[in-house]
């Protein structure tokens, strides 16, 4: 069984690997998150995924949301039912631009 610190280290390593594999897609994802945050309207990762070209590596989306949260760009405001058929209507985090 992993400790909390070990779990966080593994999580961070996985996010870093996904970001590195995504290459130039990272900047595009960051821009889409910033634009969504600037509207002041709630959004989810599914809203961002819908705007990313099909050939983009989307594995980095979760890592980029975590990065935006740590930087104070976005804040969690609840959950919403996923619109992605692959998630079978599970709840996903809903975000909004951070109030500064």
pLDDT, tens only, 16-62 = 554 555 557 888 999 999 999 999 999 999 999 889 877 776 778 98
Q: How many CA atoms lie within 13 A of 80 on its CB side?
A: 15
| CA pair distance 72, 53, nearest whole angstrom | 26
Distance of CA 32 to the CA centre of its chain: 10
C-alpha–C-alpha distance, residues 41 and 54, integer Å: 25
Q: Which pLDDT score is estimated for 17?
A: 55
Question: pTM for this structure?
Answer: 0.73
In a 3-state reduction of DSSP, which class is residue 64? helix
């Amino acid at each position: 069984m992993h400790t909390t610190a070990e779990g966080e280290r593994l999580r961070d390593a996985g996010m870093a690997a996904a970001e590195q594999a995504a290459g130039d897609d990272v900047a595009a994802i960051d821009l889409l998150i910033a634009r969504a945050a600037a509207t002041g309207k709630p959004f989810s990762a599914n809203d961002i995924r819908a705007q990313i070209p099909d050939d983009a590596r989307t594995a980095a989306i979760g890592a980029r949301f975590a990065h935006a949260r740590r930087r104070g760009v976005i804040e969690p405001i609840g959950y919403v039912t996923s619109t992605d058929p692959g998630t079978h209507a599970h709840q996903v985090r809903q975000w909004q631009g951070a109030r500064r």
